[in-house]
Amino acid sequence: MTDSFLAQRLYLGGAGCVLALLIGCAPAGGPAPKGEVVEIETIEMLPADKPAQPAAPGAIAAQAAAVRQEVDKRVAAADRTIDEAARSIPAATPARETIVLGDAALTSGVPGAGPITSEQIDRWLADPKNSVTLDPVLPLGLSQGAKQITGLDTNPLTRAKIELGRQLYFDTRLSADATVSCASCHDPAMGYTAHTATGVGIRGQKGGRNSPVSFNRILSGKQFWDGRVDSLEAQAVGPIANPIEMGFTHEGVVERLGAIPVYKKQFDTIFGELTIDRVGQAIAAFERTIVTGPSPYDYHEELLPFAKLDAEDIADDRELAAKYATVKAAAAAHPMSESAQRGRGLFFGKANCSACHVGANLADEKYHNIGIGMDKREPDLGRFAVTKDPADTGAFKTPTVRNVALTAPYMHDGSVATLEEVVEWYDKGGHANPHLSDKIKPLNLTKQEQADLVEFMKACTSPTTPVETGRLPAAADL
């Protein structure tokens, strides 16, 4: 016996009809525990004065058919209602989406032309895809550095956040006198740096160090030449309050942005607040999407493993043969000269450049004293100013070799004008000082070897992510 059951007794005949219909009955006082036998009353309908005439079988069948037809009709109507409701609900937006960094769609700006209006930003923010969390994949060349990606655990990427960061990066209103933006010292047209020895801030003031590149920052934790901040977010807001660079205050920039409706709407929607930390998160999100694409060096490296295989073995494997054909065609379309190939051998061999310029970004993210500026009366102490460790005296962060041909002048103080001069500096063993890195020794390279090294570095040049630079929020609510 179950807690709910249907008991039906039907007596037909001269004695009359007794019908008992019990559904979901339970004894008084509440339901009994399962397994316990309970007594259920039978409710009887007493016969009328005259015996009822039993219904004809045909009538019963007709009535049943009519009931079934009505039920089917109502079920069909319900199905139509459900289908209409389902069509009116927008398609579910995935919680996460995988994207390849370098895609111009990430940094092309809010659709439209001219200053970004409130109406345009409302449409942009209302699109569900712009709030989806993005899982970035690195392009060929950088892809080996996937485990080196930093910052996404605390500051995940979304299209809306990247776009807000793009606007802030190019907006001079982040500086006190509205003349300097992040791009002033980290200009896409100049390899995401500036072609000046040191950075130039408001009122033409000159800083003390060369402007580092702002691409491939997704692979870097500590920032600045001396690694004085632990994150890209902290780096992004540092120059705002630097009196030489943007000369503003964090409180002042937050107030100014809050008075610009398009910015205010974005911060409220994306973060729920407008603070200096949120400004840093937005700019950092944008900067993490700026990466170098594959270079002739990368295409060459992808082809090298096939050189160890027998041509017949490649031909016998259809899948391997197809991959080889694709890789070979890509390398042919982005050729690496014989001089550059010789330079590659020197870079990873005799010249020992890879002692520091190693990994996907060709930079070890460490700090070294190579003697630059150590002959001055008061040399820049570099990393020592942060750690107070004498071993860090005069040590600066290793810059990337990627796109180095586009980022002259070189070294932390911008004192070396060309790549040829860079190679000459290392060839002579730097400038002797008590804290010189043990990796810096005379190389005794021939003039041809020096030239080959330069050619290899040039072969590490590639396009960076295309970016919309001019489309920024309107000053007033248009």
Selection from 286, 309, 269, 70 nearest residue 183 by Cα: 286
Q: Is residue 313 part of a domain?
A: no
Q: Which amino acid, 165?
A: G
Residue 56 has pLDDT above 70, yes or no: no
> Is 401 buried (19+), middle (13-18) or exposed (0-12) by CB count in 10 A?
buried
Residue 49 is predicted with a pLDDT of 53
Instruction: Provide mean pLDDT across the span 56-64.
Output: 71
Q: Which amino acid, 298?
A: D
Kindly state whether residues 32 and 147 are assigned to the same domain.
Answer: no
pTM over 0.75: yes
d(CA 38, CA 61): 36
Kindly state whether residues 255 and 161 are assigned to the same domain.
Answer: yes
Q: Is residue 20 part of a domain?
A: yes
Residue 264 vs residues 112, 203, 287: alpha-carbon distances, Å: 19, 28, 21
> What pLDDT digit, counting tens, does each position of 295-330 carry?
999 999 999 999 999 999 899 999 999 999 999 999
How many C-beta neighbours within 10 Å does residue 347 have? 22
Residue 78 has pLDDT above 90, yes or no: no
> What pLDDT digit, counting tens, does each position of 188-211 carry?
999 999 999 999 999 999 999 999
Average pLDDT over the chain reads 89
The helix or strand, by DSSP H or E, that contains position 340, with its residue range, turns out to be helix 338-347
Residue 3 is predicted with a pLDDT of 47
Spatial contact of 369 and 437, defined as CB atoms under 8 Å apart: yes
Kindly state whether residues 145 and 279 are assigned to the same domain.
Answer: yes
Residue 95 is predicted with a pLDDT of 84
Residue 135 is predicted with a pLDDT of 97
> What pLDDT digit, counting tens, does each position of 97-141 carry?
999 999 999 999 999 999 999 999 999 999 999 999 999 999 999
Start-to-end Cα distance in the chain:
74
Residue 477 has pLDDT above 80, yes or no: no
Instruction: Provide mean pLDDT across the span 41-62.
Output: 58
The more confident residue out of 328 and 68 is 328
Q: Would you place residue 8 in the very low, low, confident or very high pLDDT band (cuts 50, 70, 90)? A: very low
Quick one: residue 71, left, alpha or beta (phi over 0 = left, psi -120 to 50 = alpha)?
alpha
Kindly state whether residues 272 and 420 are assigned to the same domain.
Answer: no
Q: Is residue 87 part of a domain?
A: no
Residue 6 is predicted with a pLDDT of 36
Residue 272 has pLDDT above 70, yes or no: yes
Residue 4 is predicted with a pLDDT of 42
Kindly state whether residues 281 and 145 are assigned to the same domain.
Answer: yes
d(CA 60, CA 137): 70
Residue 62 is predicted with a pLDDT of 75
Kindly state whether residues 338 and 269 are assigned to the same domain.
Answer: no
Kindly state whether residues 162 and 32 are assigned to the same domain.
Answer: no
Half-sphere exposure of 370 (CA within 13 A, CB side): 26
Kindly state whether residues 109 and 235 are assigned to the same domain.
Answer: yes
Q: Is residue 160 part of a domain?
A: yes
Residue 71 is predicted with a pLDDT of 73
> Cα 299 from chain centroid?
24
Q: Is residue 72 part of a domain?
A: no
> Cα 430 from chain centroid?
38
Q: Is residue 304 part of a domain?
A: no
Domain extent at residue 6 = 1-50
Residue 362 has pLDDT above 90, yes or no: yes
Kindly state whether residues 352 and 254 are assigned to the same domain.
Answer: no
Residue 19 has pLDDT above 50, yes or no: no
Q: Which amino acid, 199?
A: G
Selection from 420, 416, 450 nearest residue 431 by Cα: 416
What is the SS3 assignment for 409?
coil
How many C-beta neighbours within 10 Å does residue 155 have? 18
d(CA 353, CA 348): 6
Question: Number of structural domains, the chain?
Answer: 3
Pairing of strands 19-23, 96-100: unpaired
Instruction: Provide mean pLDDT across the span 416-426.
Output: 98
> What pLDDT digit, counting tens, does each position of 443-456 carry?
999 999 999 999 99
> What pLDDT digit, counting tens, does each position of 242-253 carry?
999 999 999 999
Selection from 207, 188, 184 nearest residue 406 by Cα: 188
Instruction: Provide mean pLDDT across the span 404-420.
Output: 98
Spatial contact of 178 and 201, defined as CB atoms under 8 Å apart: no
Kindly state whether residues 182 and 280 are assigned to the same domain.
Answer: yes
- The secondary structure of residue 338, as a DSSP letter, is H
Token code pair at residue 303: 């082809």
Kindly state whether residues 183 and 282 are assigned to the same domain.
Answer: yes
d(CA 335, CA 59): 90
Q: Would you place residue 89 in the very low, low, confident or very high pLDDT band (cuts 50, 70, 90)? A: low
- CATH value at residue 270: 1.10.760.10
Pairing of strands 133-137, 96-100: parallel
Q: Is residue 225 part of a domain?
A: yes
Kindly state whether residues 254 and 183 are assigned to the same domain.
Answer: yes
Q: Is residue 104 part of a domain?
A: yes
